[in-house]
Amino acid sequence: MLFVVLAVSLWGGSASLAKYLFLTRYDPLIVTQTRSSLSFLLLAAYFLVTDRSVFRVKLADLYKFALIGIVGIAATNFTYYFTVKESTVATAILVQNAAPVIVMIYSVAVTKDEDFNGIKVLSLVFALFGCFLAVSGGSIHEVNLTGWALLTAPASMLTYAFMLLASKRMLRDYRVWTMLVAALGFATLFWLFVNPPWAVVARGYTMQDWGVFLGFAVVSILLPYIFFAQGLRLLEATTAGIVTTLEPVIAIIVAWIALGESMNHVQIAGTVAVVASVLLLQVRRKPLASILKRGRHGQ
């Protein structure tokens, strides 16, 4: 679980950095595109020198990695930011973070990869309610599904759920590094079609700008995806999804500290609820029979 917590800490922390970049002079499209593209180039260059076996993928699995890269990474990012643009940040975060509900239903009822667990359900309820309080401050008016957000917000939730489920399945057969290189590679190809290289060059970005893009790519995609994939390999998809609800909480705390944004009592209560949901996942209830047996032995 520590790997996923590290990942969401970087994602949450980079949210304030992204906001700063958007408020200066950087287009959200180029920032989003370079996040995955530069991360792919760094990973690919490293493994071309150190371990080329990372690039070995069965032809029959190429389309699966393409779906993870295009739907799971690129589409999730695009629909999330489009929802922010068309509606509110609270709406985008709350709807996307409902993805663990889809993951749990699918994993329990369809693939039967996970068992139905009361502790897990209670943790999910705590996480979603706490996320609502932390992001919206308890005001339902912060959630505004209108216009294109009616489509992009649910799409963001579904593509995020797909990313969790599909990545978990591929990690059964492939190393973390292979999945990351392949998925980020296809995400990079997707963005090249959306915003081709000549369009990027026409922006006239300086070496300093590319240094900013590179640094943001490392802290917002490369490192957190490495941590997240490592954690997802060890955890159930639902559990990993619940832990990721920490991301908006961390983003709010960082914005409060670094950007001076306000944080009221309702948001603090929501933060406590989300943290409690993650701690609840650590609870391992012992069967009643074993407790009674231990009690008899102690008499």
Question: Average model confidence (pLDDT) for the chain?
Answer: 82
Residue among 182, 173, 171, 162 nearest 230 (CA)? 171
170, containing H or E segment: helix 149-170
Give the tens place of pLDDT for each residue, 156-171: 889 999 999 999 999 9
State residue 89's pLDDT score. Answer: 67
Contact between residue 128 and residue 245 where contact means Cβ atoms under 8 Å apart: yes
Query: Mapped to the 3 state alphabet, what secondary structure does 69-128 carry?
Result: HHHHHHHHHHHHHHHHHHCCHHHHHHHHCCHHHHHHHHHHHHCCCCCCCHHHHHHHHHHH
Q: How many CB atoms are closer than 10 A to CB 220? A: 22
- The pTM score is 0.80
Is the Cα dihedral 63, 237, 149, 85 positive or negative?
A: negative
Please name the residues in contact with 13: beta carbons below 8 A apart, sequence gap of 6 or more. Answer: 219, 250, 251, 254
* Three-state secondary-structure class, residue 261: coil
Task: Give the per-residue SS3 of 134-166.
Answer: HHHCCCHHHCCCCCCHHHHHHHHHHHHHHHHHH
- In sequence order, what are the residues at sequence separation of 6 or more whose Cβ sits closer than 8 angstroms to the Cβ of residue 37? 187, 188, 191, 192, 217
Q: Which tokens go with 212? A: 């900013």
Residue 183, Cβ density class (10 Å: 0-12 exposed, 13-18 middle, ≥19 buried): buried
Q: How confident is the model at residue 287 (pLDDT cuts 50, 70, 90)?
A: very low
Which of 28-37, 80-89, 95-104, 177-186 shows the lowest mean pLDDT across its residues?
A: 80-89
Task: State how far the Cα of 295 lies from the Cα of 226, in Å rounded to an integer.
Answer: 45
- 146 vs 269, higher pLDDT: 269
Token reading at 292: 């009674």
Q: In whole angstroms, what is the distance from residue 278 CA to residue 120 CA?
A: 10
Q: Does pLDDT of 62 surpass 80?
A: yes
Contact 18, 32 (CB under 8 A): no
